[in-house]
Amino acid sequence: MDSIRIKRLRCLSDTGDIQIKPITILLGQNSSGKSTFLRVLPLLKQSVESRTTGPLLWYGRLVDFGSFDDAHQNGSENTISLSFNFSIKPYDDERFFYFMESQYSSPYGLVDSFRVLHDLNVNLTLEITESKKKEITRTSKIILLFEDSKIQIDFNEDENVSAFYVNSLNILELGNQYVFKKLGNRAFLPLINEVEQKKDADSEITALYSKNIKTRHRSFRSLLNLLLIQVKKNVHPSTSPDTVMKMLLSLGLGDSEAMLKDIQTNRYSGKSWKKQTDNWSIETEEFKHLKNLVIANAASFLIEKCDDILANFSRQISYMGPVRATAERYYRTQDLAVDEVDYQGRNLAMFLRNLKDSEMSSFSEWTLENFGFKPLIKSSLGHISLKIRPKNSDKELNIADTGFGFSQILPIITQLWLLSVLPKRNSATVNRRIGKEPITYAIEQPELHLHPRLQGIMTDAFVTSIKKAKEKDIDLRLVIETHSEALVNRLGHLVAEGKIDSEQINIVLFDSSDSSGKVEIRKAYFDAEGYLSNWPLGFFEMEN
């Protein structure tokens, strides 16, 4: 996930694309929208964790946005828009063609039905609104931009597809015998299928489709028929139906140049095809029509793929809220499996108790190195107590006797250690990591009740964790909402000392000082020497 953009959510009219870098700092006055932006992350997480009737679960175990009406910006267009930038990776061609050739006998068929020719840079926009009939949130529009192409699908109040465009091609005006309908939701995005209006006995694709496609192919059948007609115009009349079908199913997705080259060099094509297509360019109308039909056929696949990426990203989000549980002198022992620290740190003692001896030893060494103390768990008569032992001391202190700061920082740094040093222990990552999806840790006001010196030490730990995670091939991203001048200044020092590259930090300023109440988003950044650029003068100073 490269960036996120929010429109018409609470006070956020339009954030623009906000990059999610290894360290993303959100700054601004109270009620400026920075917490709203950060809480979109746990909103996504709680939505993917539950079965929902709509795309988002506004009220859940992590955050409470109320309802769509509560979350929606008053006086604006009656939709909330979430946009995400990411990439879809290509598959190995030989693997694809192996399944292509074996689909007739293989019970698995094509694992993924469309070839991706190169990294696809994708911008996905999900627009949601409130259903007037059911008073629930529904999808109103999906816009999918990849490379130089655009797919737009609109949904009406009955959740049928009311508009379907691929670039300039209006799919609903192609005269097919099917309508496109939303069948349900996956994690966030709708499932779309064709519903047959009348028997297509004369459809040329029917026999081929029934014979050859024994798998859950994600093509739209009527569009596949149109694609077949388009391809047959350029192949030799004696080309076998099976060969034509393989040509159809092997056409890949990419930018126009890549798709043109892929069409011209299709491995199943013959001399007639090559002769017809050799003189095509990306401006040739016949190529553009064929390209649009290929993309239209792949629309359902692309939506499912984007939904998978967004769902995996959301499952890997951890969240720590601004109000963390106060320390207790004793905690009652429970036989519960605890895989991560909850967003208020209430289960911290149980989490530490459940660590293996080797894991607890690793965590103790980490806290001793970074914060100058080691945590200890003591059990007695069905209760456990959480204690800390300062560096170079034999004295053990109950956390309830150490001041409020330790009880506030310990849940944050425990989850930080878990994500950067021991990610396999985190339930959000178990059996779900595909490739290198980012692990995102959203933290609200980590500096609460901390002396500026300890805030600086905590900032060092953030940077160290990013480095440790990278060494373990973990893509860890920290999104931190803060008012801490000490945290920002310390980051600048760490950049100057070469402890972190300035390109790994994004500083986002939320400014609601405009008399209209509109929030303006400003991007600041550190230069190589640790100095802030595009930083407003007096940002942390009191107004006269």
User: What mean pLDDT do residues 26-55 have?
Assistant: 89
Higher pLDDT among residues 239 and 217, named by residue: 239
178-185 and 317-320: which strand pairing?
unpaired
Is a pLDDT exceeding 90 seen at residue 516? no
What are the distances in angstroms from CA 344 to CA 49, 272, 409? 18, 67, 11
Higher pLDDT, 9 or 53: 9
Residue 490 pLDDT exceeds 60: yes
Least confident of 79-88, 359-368, 423-432: 423-432
Q: What SS3 state is found at 92?
A: coil
The pLDDT value recorded for residue 513 is 63
Q: What is the DSSP letter of 501?
A: -
Quick one: pLDDT at residue 239?
A: 82
Q: Give the pLDDT score at 18.
A: 95
The rounded percent of the chain whose pLDDT value lies above 70 is 82
382 vs 111, higher pLDDT? 382
Q: Judge whether residue 321 has pLDDT over 90.
A: no
Tens of pLDDT, residue by residue over 346-356, are 888 888 888 88
Of 90-94, 377-381, 446-450, the range with the highest mean pLDDT is: 446-450
Average pLDDT over residues 143-147: 95
Provide the pLDDT for residue 214: 43
Highest mean pLDDT among 92-96, 192-196, 364-368, 429-433: 364-368
**Contact (CB, 8 A) for 164 and 174:** no
pLDDT tens by residue, 151-200? 999 988 887 888 999 999 999 888 766 667 766 677 888 888 777 665 55
Total length of the chain = 544
pLDDT in tens, 278-318: 999 999 999 999 999 999 988 888 998 899 999 999 999 99
> What would the pLDDT profile of 405-424 be if each residue is shown by its tens digit?
777 888 898 899 988 877 55
* pLDDT the model gives residue 336: 53
Residue of higher predicted confidence among 402 and 4: 4
pLDDT at 429: 42
Confidence at 538, pLDDT banded by 50, 70, 90? low
Residue 87: per-residue pLDDT = 92
For residue range 56-107, what is the model confidence (pLDDT) as tens digits? 999 988 999 988 888 887 666 789 999 999 999 887 777 777 666 665 444 3
Alpha helices in 269-356 (DSSP H): 271-277, 285-297, 299-315, 348-354
What span, in angstroms and rounded, lies between the C-alpha atoms of 364 and 357?
10
Q: Residue 478 in contact with residue 512, Cβ under 8 Å?
A: no
Q: How many C-beta atoms lie closer than 10 Å to residue 183's C-beta?
A: 10
The whole-angstrom separation of Cα 282 and Cα 269 is 19
Type of residue numbered 482: T
Q: Residues 6, 8, 9, CA angle at the centre, nearest 5°?
A: 70
pLDDT of residue 311: 92
Tokens of 130: 């409130």
Mean pLDDT to the nearest integer, 114-127: 92
Higher pLDDT, 431 or 4: 4
Q: In this predicted structure, what is the pLDDT of residue 284?
A: 94
Of residues 147 and 243, the one with the higher pLDDT is 147
Q: What is the pTM of this model?
A: 0.87
- Which region among 221-225, 232-236, 435-439 has the lowest average model confidence (pLDDT)? 435-439
Which residue would you say has higher pLDDT here, 165 or 379? 165
Residue type at 163 in one-letter notation: A
Q: What is the CA radius of gyration of the chain?
A: 27
- Domains delineated in the chain: 88-312 (no CATH), 316-533 (3.40.50.300)
Confidence of residue 334 (pLDDT cuts 50, 70, 90): low
Whether the pLDDT of residue 434 is over 70: the answer is no
Report which of 58, 117, 107 is spatially closest to residue 82, judged by C-alpha positions.
58
Helix, strand, coil in percent for the chain, rounding step 5: 35, 25, 40
Res. 202: pLDDT tops 50: no
The separation between the first and the last C-alpha atoms of the chain, rounded to the nearest angstrom, is 41
